[in-house]
Amino acid sequence: MFEFLPASFLLLLHRMIKWVLHKFLGACELQRLCRDCPAGSTRTKNIESSLKKSKHSALRRVVTDSEDITVKDAVENVIAIKRIDPETHKDVVDALQGSLRQSLGYRTLLKEVEKLRSEAYSSDNPDHEDALMQLWNLLVPNTPLENRITKQWQDIGFQGDDPQTDFRGMGMLGLKNILYFATQHTGIARQLLSHSNHPQTGYSFAIVGINLTSLAYHLMLDGDLKTHFYNTCSGTPLISHFHQVYCYLFYEFDSLWIAEKPATIMEFSRIREKFRRKIVEILKNPETVLAANFELEVN
C-alpha cells in the first residue's frame, strides 16, 4: 500500500515508528532485531536495512562503505552510537557481531569475485593455460588435444579454435567456475556435457557455462545471493562457496533446458531469462539455501 509514496516520506515514517517503539519498548530497533529475528538471512538483512536507514552517517557507512572495516570496529561503532551496554546486552552484541561478520564477509567475497572477473585470460600466462588444459583433460580424458589452437575445443562447447576469446566477458572467473565444477563434480560435469551434445536439444557447454558465470556474478552484485550465503555461512564465505553456487546453477539450468525441449539453440535467451527469474524468486524466500541435489545417470 506504500509503494507509491516518496522514498523520503517512507524513510521519515520508518524513523518515526522506530522512535515510538523505542519509547514504549525501551529498546532500539537493532536490539529488537537481534533478539527477535532468527539467525541467518532474516536477521542479517533486517540489520543491514536498519543501518542503511539510520540518520547517523557512521551507521550507514558500516554497511555501505566500500573501504575495509573490521567486524570488531563495526560492532564497537554501532553499540557506541546506539548506547548499547555490552555487559547488560551481551546477547544483542553477540547477534550483532554475527550479522555484521556475514554482511562484511559478503562484501569481501564480492571483491574477490570482481577481481577474478577483471583478470583477463592470457595464453601467455602458464597458470591460465594449465587451468584450461586441466578442464579439457577432466571433461574428455580419453581424447588427446591435438594442438593448442584446434577445432576440438568446440567439442566441449567453445565457439572457435581458441577458448581465450570466449573468456573476455567474465575473465578468469568463467574458467575458475567451470574448472571447479569439472574438478569437484567430474561425473556430473561429464553428464551435462553429454546432454549438451544431444543432436536435437544440445547446447554449447562451455559458452553456457560462461553465461551462467555472468548470472552468478550479477546475482552476487545485486545482493540476491545474500539470502543463500547468510543462511549457510556464519562468517566470510570463500570463493569455493561461490563456485558451489555456480555448480548448482549449471545443474539446474541443464534440467530446465531439457524440460523446455527447445527447438533450436536460438531459444537460449528466453530460457536463460526464465531461469534467472526463477532463481531470483527462489532467493526471495528468507529461508532459501541453494543446495545442489546432483543425481548421476547410470547408463
DSSP 166: G
C-alpha cell at 45: 538483512
Residue ranges of the chain with per-residue pLDDT less than 70: 1-27, 66, 298-299
CB 225 within 8 A of CB 245: yes
pTM: 0.89
Amino acid occupying residue 294:
F
> What is the pLDDT, as a whole number, of residue 54?
85
**Which residues, 6 or more positions from 181, have their beta carbon under 8 angstroms from its beta carbon?**
188, 189, 209, 243, 246, 247, 250
**Which residues, 6 or more positions from 111, have their beta carbon under 8 angstroms from its beta carbon?**
none
pLDDT, tens digit, 9 for 90 and up, residues 12-45: 444 454 443 344 444 588 889 999 999 999 999 9
C-alpha cell at 141: 580424458
> What is the pLDDT, as a whole number, of residue 297?
73
